[in-house]
Amino acid sequence: MSTYFSKIIKAGERQREFNFRQVTSNNETRYSVDVPDERGNRVMFNMQRNEDGSWRTTSPSLPVWIQDAEAALDDAIRENRLAEMPKKHR
């Protein structure tokens, strides 16, 4: 499975490139995500799987435009995981 991918997602009023890196530790998978803000500074945060299977941010202090894009970030992770899955397991 690919441990890194990027996805252009509309967040706030702009298209932004979100960079995802898969991190596995203690048999738990999460994603480290970074995206530039309006000034070019990198905003970094993690996403992990909830009990319901959705991927959610783990930091409550993220900019609103990231919080509002959480469903699209979940979709991006799911799409990448499905694309990387061997066809016989789909």
Q: Residue 43's pLDDT is what?
A: 97
Prediction pTM value: 0.88
Does a structural domain hold residue 72?
yes
Is position 55 within any domain?
A: yes
**Pick the residue with more confidence: 85 or 23?**
23
Q: Is residue 75 part of a domain?
A: yes
Summarised one tens digit per residue, pLDDT across range 10-67 is 999 999 999 999 999 888 899 999 999 999 999 999 999 999 999 999 998 999 999 9
Q: Is residue 58 part of a domain?
A: yes
Q: What is the pLDDT of residue 25?
A: 85
Number of compact structural domains in the chain: 1
- Residue entry with tokens 């960079």: 19
d(CA 9, CA 7): 6
3-state secondary structure 1-35: CCCEEEEEEEECCEEEEEEEEEEEECCEEEEEEEE
Give the domain range for residue 46: 4-85
Does 90 fall in a domain? no
CA angle in degrees (0–180, nearest 5) for 46-49-54: 110
Burial class (CB in 10 A: 0-12, 13-18, 19+), 42: exposed
